[in-house]
Amino acid sequence: MLEKTKIVVFVSGGGTNLQAIIDAAKSGLIKSGEIVGVVSSSPTAYAVERAKKEGIPYTVVSLKECSSRAEFEEKILESTEKYGAELIVLAGFMSILSAEFISRYRDRIINVHPSLIPSFCGKGYYGLNVHKAALEYGVKVTGATVHYVNEIPDGGKIIDQKSVRVSPSDTPESLQKKVMQKCEWIILPRACEKISAMIAKSKKGNIAK
């Protein structure tokens, strides 16, 4: 049996995507990976409470309490190394990681974005801003994307996507909820299992017989 891939989840807010990953691990949907740690950029993030409830080790690293972004990332790196991270999942993480950090975990960082990339992505497109833009543009279909993280915001290779129809009555808030429930919470756990399985199989001495 292959050794499970160690997953560390980066969060900043409510942690609904973290919960989706936790639930998927419990149900057996994620069987090739396990959450070994959570890193939050906010001490008040409810995601931290979710980690506590599940007994998952967590670390809070606030940019405001660091003297520089370099110090912020250094402390995050200390946490990922402490947890032995093999896959980093950005689940509503509101800080853009530097090229140096990304290079340390090349093809080992994935992110979920609330649109069908390449639409409504890149700098400034986060949270409700994405859904406001989609409604203003008048799209009939939107969705979510899980992609690898590279040096370009939302610019990494796409791993999975799922779409949902936009209703004439949708508001940014209702669309956000719809995309989360019908897209993000489905494809993020699915991608976690897919990438975890790939990493597990690639580990030295763990070649499947």
Residues annotated as part of the active site = 113
User: Cβ atoms within 10 A of the Cβ of 126, count?
Assistant: 16
Using the structure block, give the residue that is written with the tokens 């950005």.
Answer: 90
The length of the chain, given as a count of residues: 209
Query: 91, 21 in Cβ contact below 8 A?
Result: yes
Give CA–CA dist 60/32, Å, rounded.
26
